[in-house]
Chains A and B, each alone.
Chain A
Amino acid sequence: MTAISTTGLTKRYPEVAALDGVSVALEENRIHGLLGRNGAGKTTLMQLLTGQVFATAGSMQVLGGSPVENVEVLSQTVFIQESQKYPDTFRAVDVLRIAAGAYPNWDQGYADRLVEQYRLPAKRLIKKLSRGQLSAVGIVIGLASRAPLTFFDEPYLGLDAVARQMFFDDLLADYTAHPRTIVLSTHHIDEVANLLEHVVILDQGKVLLEADTDELHDAAITVSGKATAVDAFLAGREVLERKTLGTLATATFTPRDGDELAAREAGLDLTPVSLQALFVHLTTANTASAAAATDTHRASDRAIV
């Protein structure tokens, strides 16, 4: 079943379209990665899906209904925001107590274990916590709430490598024991790539790519060898990125059947592209084409003048 589906979802602010015609379908009980550069629209999309901001256009279905002012949907949803604000007088323990009352599936024993594990000073005022400790508060709530729909927006800012690994292990273990729909937004792509079953890459408010991670292995590959051989091999095909060093070249492209054999016969090497590298290629290529479009636009403006 689909947990989230959107059609042409758009959020325009006076200066900018934060989200521009986004159509995605996220299956339930999977871990989805929401990837994109800063300002790509990740947070806006999650705010729309949790009813925190209103869409300018388009439609969405979340857990079978609209999330806007819909208690039935929102009580099954937890959204751990990167920039969550708390009242000045609150301690972590106060926030956790409120969370315990708000989420029907809350597991207090698990929450207590997590507080200890992340060494969270629960009695200290929230405003005195470090960035990493603040992230830990979000992680405890996000995991212990066991909400059927869980959003994590950059959940580990300020956490060191050990605590980040702890979070990935906890997420995986608790997800395995209590399957639910998880949407994880991040730009630490390589660290989470193996945890994700499905990814959505946003760029400048639009969906650049949506796919199961299994399929992404076939989305791009890098060929390297003599520049003349590389060019002959890729003649007439779309190339995501090409680099040369003297007489050598590497190029990243979308492979098709028979490439492996052809590359071998041409004495070329093929190497896989990681999700992180694919992300960089796609967003860089997209920025370049957007810049080119703007240039053309300017040129035509000039022509009119």
Chain B
Amino acid sequence: MLDESKPLFQAVAEQIEDGILDGTYAEDDPVPSTNQLAAFLRINPATAGKGLGLLVDAEVLIKRRGIGMFVAPGAREALRQRRKFAFQDQYIAPLLREAAQLGITPEELAGMITKEVAR
């Protein structure tokens, strides 16, 4: 469920981000509390809190004292931009590397992508 290649608190933050991107948490909606996340993911509450803290620092979440954490206005679009920026590095570069290793030309690769999209 959590991406184990990253420190746990980062994986927690990314999971909430995924929820914002796919609309599970709409803007101005509350997100789960530290304790709810800890119990659900079976992790230390401090780790869950640190993950949420990352998102508060990044202004993806807003803390409302005594009530909880809420998705910031504009957070979804901001996340989308940030993820797009990382897409090249995380997905395109490894794809091209593997393609080169298998002798797949960029033209062939483009053809494969078009075919997959049409499926």
Q: Say how far A162's CB is from chain B's closest CB, in angstroms.
A: 14
Q: What 1/0 flags go to B1-12 for Cβ under 8 Å of A?
A: 000111111000
Q: Which among B14-22, B34-42, B76-84 touches the partner chain?
A: B34-42
Interface size class of A (residues with CB under 8 A): 20 to 34
| A101 CB → nearest B CB, Å | 31
Question: Chain B interface mostly helix, strand, loop or mixed?
Answer: helix
A242 at the interface (CB under 8 A from B): no
Nearest residue (CB) in A for B5 is A272
Q: Would you call A197 and B47 a contact (CB within 8 A)?
A: yes
Question: Which of A195, A196, A267, A271 lies in contact with B5, CB distance below 8 A?
Answer: A271
Q: What CA separation (Å) do A127 and B8 show in the bound complex?
A: 42
Question: Contact: B42 with A214, CB < 8 Å?
Answer: no
B50 within 8 A of A: yes
Q: Does A57 contact B (CB under 8 A)?
A: no
Give, as a whole number of angstroms, the nearest-CB distance from A104 to chain B: 24
Smallest Cβ distance from A274 to chain B, in angstroms? 8
Inter-chain contacts of B5 with A (CB < 8 A)? 271-272
B7 touches A31 (CB 8 A): no
* Structural contact, A176 and B50, CB atoms closer than 8 A: no
Q: Which of B33-87 contact A (CB under 8 A)?
A: 35, 38-39, 41-47, 50
Render A169-201 as a binary contact track against B, CB cut-off 8 A, 1 for contact: 100110110000000000000000011110000
Name the A residues within 8 Å of B50 (CB-CB): 214
Q: Which residues of B68-109 are within 8 A (CB) of A?
A: 93, 97
A176 touches B45 (CB 8 A): yes
Known pairs A217-B7, A271-B5, A272-B4; A176 contacts B42 (CB<8 A): no
B interface residues, Cβ below 8 angstroms from A: 4-9, 35, 38-39, 41-47, 50, 93, 97
Binding site for B on A (CB under 8 A): 30-31, 168-169, 172-173, 175-176, 194-197, 213-214, 217-218, 264, 267, 271-272, 274
